[in-house]
Chains A and B, each alone.
Chain A
Amino acid sequence: MDYGRQKRLIIIAAIIVGIWTVGPFFWLLWASFMQTSELNQGIVKWLEDPTLQNYRRVFGLAGDDEGYDAIFGAQTRAVGIGFINSLLVAVPTAVIATAIATLAGYAFGRFEFRGKTGFLFALLLTRVLPPVAILIPYFTLFRQVGLIGNPVSLIITYLTAIIPLLAWVLMGYFATLPLEVERAARLDGCSRLKVLWYVMLPMAAPGISAAFIIAFLFAWNELLFAIILTGGGKWQTLSPALIGVSPIGALGLTPMVVFAAASTLSIIPPVIMALIFQRYITRLNIVDPVTVRA
């Protein structure tokens, strides 16, 4: 194959990947600037009269709005509140999960000890558990102790789901770090926890950042736990709030254009995190749990 033709084929493949990836995002943004009457004529058309009204509705700034506010006002403004609530849930979840998983990842990734493979298997197998299977007993338990609607209940259930994955990712990262620095610090009389804090954590910062992002994204995006444990309440997070303005499927009657605006706002933090994360992800080392030896 001649070189120029190969080059063109690669560029065409790259354009296809780009359209596949970005295309749907484009239409979301497109629809968010439309009015319902305009969208009903079809989404594939030029924006004749782009409007920010849908965004104003989400922020509660729409003012007199042809009756929209009376019907959908409360659930639309819940998206903004959900945005704050999700931050208040996702950040503590990510901090706690990352801290615990860092300890576990350090122990798994750097040391040999009795029962290591068994422990690792026990931890990773819980990653397989379906969320709905965890939710049912937690729902009944939380209802009995009055924790439904409380963000603490959400944080606890999120920890069950995310710690195994983070420990696995961090174990791989710790295993790739060179031994020499750690060894030198130990020779100088540093204790193991001091080595972890002063030597290993700075070296593992990219892996730990990646773990934090994975945990944050999970907590930010999760729907099932959030809808059952906080849905409709004062602490309702972003996901149930989005369902509240969702016209999709059998779920609701809110205009699609408002859902598009709310969705666009909701993906700003994840998209920023994805752009940061992709710098780290190829450096993560997902290790084989069966044969790994540090």
Chain B
Amino acid sequence: MASIRQMTLRGGYMTDGQFAFAIVAAVLAFHLLIIGAPLAYSFWLSLHETNIILRSQEYVGFDLWQEALENEDVIDATWRSLWFAAMVTVFSFVLSLAIALVLDMEFPFRGLLRALVLMPWAISEIVTAGLWTMMIDPGWGVFNGILVPLGIVEEGFVWLNEDWALFWVAVAFVWHIAPLGAFFFLAALQSIPKALYGAARIDGAGPIARFWYVTLPHIRYAVLIVLVVMTVDAFRQFDLVFAFTAGGPGTVTLVLPMQIYRFNFNLSQYGLASATSFILIIIATILACAYFFLLSRRRHVTRAVDEVKAAPAA
């Protein structure tokens, strides 16, 4: 393996391994300080019931965890978040792959479109919420402005109704996040040698067969990265829901992070909020670990790293 370790000539008093270990240990120590300490404090909070009037805290063990697990609002919000994450993952996966396949082809003004496609990803969730409100507002929105004169929907049709509100929040989030996935896919698509498509064509493979047997095996790693990023980001999403629907109408878009926010900042139930936030952490970690487990089963190293490895050793 072409490790730099082999070229240690004058590295001072440390080997390369020790040098890298020292840097990483320092960074991780800093990171642990700014993230581990608050999490530990949060854990402590979750074991204590706060009385806001007396400003006192009483140790209650895991009572609040149990309360959170049995709380109907928490259970409903958890399912809502999982459903939201599932919708976002499926839609954004399909859409980002489709966008990447288009951007990988030859057409006029391709450079311009590639530049523009990333814009929805770059803007904030608040503006995303504003843009989609403009699309679906029942009174003056774009959808009704176009579809009502055509007679497709009746005047004043409410798109954010109780059955479909979560779907429209998911659509807005997909619009915002899919460009990132598209560029992950595009990077993977560009690494496929074009000669392979020619060879497959000569062998008589149609477009679907070429996609299945040539494209897909080359972008498998990008597929997993996109899935894990989309799932986790959707599952813990707060900003967009808060700005778009604030949980409404009723509670149909009240996702788990918003429920935790409510416990802490509206209802001053600090202990319960902390306990519930650990439920959120645990589910998010399980989701991410499931994907990482899938990754680790494949002994595949990305192409660029292979190139580094292939570089001749000193």
A282 touching B183, Cβ below 8 Å: yes
**Interface: A108 (CB within 8 A):** yes
B244 to chain A, nearest CB (A): 6
Contact (A25, B280) CB under 8 Å given A39-B140, A221-B125, A248-B130: no
Separation of A39 and B135 alpha carbons in the complex (Å): 13
Which of A156, A224, A286 makes the CB contact (< 8 A) with B242?
A: A224
**Interface: A230 (CB within 8 A):** no
Separation of A221 and B261 alpha carbons in the complex (Å): 19
Interface residues contributed by chain B, number (CB under 8 Å)? 124
Separation of A135 and B257 alpha carbons in the complex (Å): 11
> In the complex, what residue of chain A is closest to B297 when comparing beta carbons?
A290
Which of B42, B110, B113, B295 makes the CB contact (< 8 A) with A137?
A: B42
A220 touching B302, Cβ below 8 Å: no
**Interface: A49 (CB within 8 A):** no
Interface residues contributed by chain A, number (CB under 8 Å)? 116
B142 touching A27, Cβ below 8 Å: yes
A25 touching B309, Cβ below 8 Å: no
A152 to chain B, nearest CB (A): 12
A25 touching B131, Cβ below 8 Å: yes
Residues of B within 8 A of A294 (CB): 3, 305, 308
- Among the listed stretches A9-17, A59-67, A68-76, which one makes contact with chain B, having 4 or more residues with CB under 8 Å of it? A9-17
Separation of A126 and B179 alpha carbons in the complex (Å): 24
A187 touching B257, Cβ below 8 Å: no
Separation of A13 and B98 alpha carbons in the complex (Å): 9
Separation of A108 and B22 alpha carbons in the complex (Å): 11
Separation of A24 and B188 alpha carbons in the complex (Å): 28
A288 touching B7, Cβ below 8 Å: no
B246 touching A249, Cβ below 8 Å: yes
A132 touching B277, Cβ below 8 Å: yes
Residues of B within 8 A of A253 (CB): none
A130 touching B236, Cβ below 8 Å: yes
Residues of A within 8 A of B145 (CB): 42-45
Q: 1/0 per position for B216-232, CB-CB distance to A under 8 A? A: 00000110010000001
Which of A11, A24, A137, A282 makes the CB contact (< 8 A) with B132?
A: A24
A288 touching B140, Cβ below 8 Å: no
B288 touching A128, Cβ below 8 Å: yes
Separation of A183 and B7 alpha carbons in the complex (Å): 7
Residues of A within 8 A of B2 (CB): 179
Separation of A283 and B42 alpha carbons in the complex (Å): 39
A159-180 at interface with B (beta carbon < 8 Å): 159-160, 163-164, 167, 172, 175-176, 178-180
A108-143 at interface with B (beta carbon < 8 Å): 108, 110-116, 119, 121-123, 125-134, 136-141
B24 touching A290, Cβ below 8 Å: no
> In the complex, what residue of chain A is closest to B133 when comparing beta carbons?
A248
B248 touching A133, Cβ below 8 Å: no
Which of A13, A44, A133 makes the CB contact (< 8 A) with B277?
A: A133
Q: 1/0 per position for B1-17, CB-CB distance to A under 8 A? A: 11111011111100011
Contact (A110, B239) CB under 8 Å given A103-B23, A274-B121, A294-B305: no
B36 to chain A, nearest CB (A): 9
Separation of A211 and B102 alpha carbons in the complex (Å): 26
A139 touching B264, Cβ below 8 Å: yes
B304 touching A175, Cβ below 8 Å: yes
Q: 1/0 per position for B118-132, CB-CB distance to A under 8 A? A: 111111111101111
**Interface: B194 (CB within 8 A):** no
Separation of A147 and B18 alpha carbons in the complex (Å): 38
Residues of B within 8 A of A129 (CB): 35, 39, 236, 281, 284
**Interface: B117 (CB within 8 A):** yes
Residues of A within 8 A of B102 (CB): 10, 13-14, 17
Separation of A290 and B187 alpha carbons in the complex (Å): 20
B280 touching A130, Cβ below 8 Å: yes
A209-240 at interface with B (beta carbon < 8 Å): 217, 220-224, 228, 239
Residues of B within 8 A of A248 (CB): 129-130, 133, 243-244
Separation of A221 and B240 alpha carbons in the complex (Å): 11
**Interface: A250 (CB within 8 A):** yes
Q: 1/0 per position for B251-289, CB-CB distance to A under 8 A? A: 000000100110011000010011001101100110110
Q: Which residues of A contact B (CB under 8 A)?
A: 7, 10-11, 13-14, 17-18, 20-22, 24-25, 27-28, 31, 39-45, 100, 103-104, 106-108, 110-116, 119, 121-123, 125-134, 136-141, 156, 159-160, 163-164, 167, 172, 175-176, 178-180, 182-183, 186-187, 189, 191-192, 217, 220-224, 228, 239, 242-243, 246, 248-251, 256, 259-260, 263, 266-267, 270-271, 273-275, 277-278, 281-294
Q: Can you list the 6 inter-chain pairs with the closest CB atoms, starting with the nearest?
A: A44-B145, A111-B20, A274-B122, A221-B124, A130-B236, A137-B38
8 chain-A/chain-B pairs, Cβ below 8 angstroms: A113-B17, A132-B260, A133-B39, A186-B7, A186-B9, A249-B133, A275-B119, A289-B292
Known interface pairs A187-B9, A281-B187, A287-B302; 20 further A-B residue pairs with C-beta atoms within 8 A, sorted by A's residue number: A11-B107, A17-B102, A17-B103, A21-B113, A43-B140, A116-B24, A123-B27, A125-B288, A128-B281, A131-B238, A133-B277, A160-B35, A178-B311, A182-B4, A221-B239, A224-B239, A248-B129, A248-B244, A286-B222, A289-B295
